[in-house]
């Protein structure tokens, strides 16, 4: 399967998917066929006025992925005419599916389901974050900032050579004074 990247109005991703699916179903007797919209999301804990609440937000704000074998011209025009659509990536003239590191990154997040949970981490004696499981596992080299109080790590992601910083939540397992204790 190929994944094509659509840029849509930020914050309007859910609305765009509903409209596009409705338009595709109305235009095609066979419905969506082999076309599926994917919108990877993450779970964050937000602290407001001393209260903790869980919030679900987009991993790639303003981007939706279209999963299909080939981008059919009918699907292209229906999606392009849908309210909230901005452009196909790379651009509207050079539409190509993601590949290489971009595809690996998307598949990494999709392997955790539609909504990625918090990662489980611990800090070594030098206060370096160590990820044991979750969506941040394997992305440790991309972590640029850790906020232990908010239990978030800022990770630098890129898509089609556009980079952006995204916060991911984490749960602290335990503080380890000596790495040898961790291995025992």
In this predicted model, what pLDDT tens digit does every residue of 93-120 receive, in sequence order?
878 899 988 899 899 999 999 899 999 9
| Residues contacting 9, CB < 8 A, separation 6+ | 16, 62, 84, 86
Half-sphere exposure of 166 (CA within 13 A, CB side): 23
- pLDDT at position 34, please? 80
DSSP 141: G
- Strand 119-123 with 129-133, pairing: antiparallel
pTM of the model: 0.84
Domains in the chain (CATH in brackets) are: 1-102 (3.30.70.940), 117-184 (no CATH)
Average pLDDT, the chain: 86
3-state DSSP assignment of residue 60: coil
Give 17-29 pLDDT, tens digit per residue.
999 999 888 877 5
Which residues does residue 150 pair with via DSSP β-bridges, in sequence order?
none
């Amino acid at each position: 399967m190929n994944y094509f990247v659509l840029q849509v109005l930020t914050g309007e991703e859910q609305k765009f998917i509903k409209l596009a699916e409705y338009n595709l179903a109305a235009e095609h007797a066979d419905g969506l066929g082999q076309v599926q919209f994917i919108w990877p999301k993450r779970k964050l804990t937000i602290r407001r006025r001393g209260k903790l609440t869980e919030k679900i937000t987009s991993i790639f704000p303003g981007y939706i992925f279209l999963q299909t074998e080939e981008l059919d011209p009918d699907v292209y025009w229906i999606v392009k005419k849908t309210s909230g659509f901005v452009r196909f990536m790379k651009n509207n003239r050079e539409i190509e599916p993601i590949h290489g590191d971009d595809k690996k990154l998307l598949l990494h997040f999709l392997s955790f389901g539609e909504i990625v949970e918090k990662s489980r981490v611990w800090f070594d004696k030098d206060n370096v974050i160590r990820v044991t499981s979750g969506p941040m596992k394997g992305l440790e080299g991309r972590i640029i900032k850790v906020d232990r109080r908010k239990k978030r790590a800022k990770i630098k992601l890129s898509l089609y050579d556009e980079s952006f910083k995204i916060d991911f939540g984490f749960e602290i397992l335990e503080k380890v004074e000596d790495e040898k204790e961790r291995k025992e």
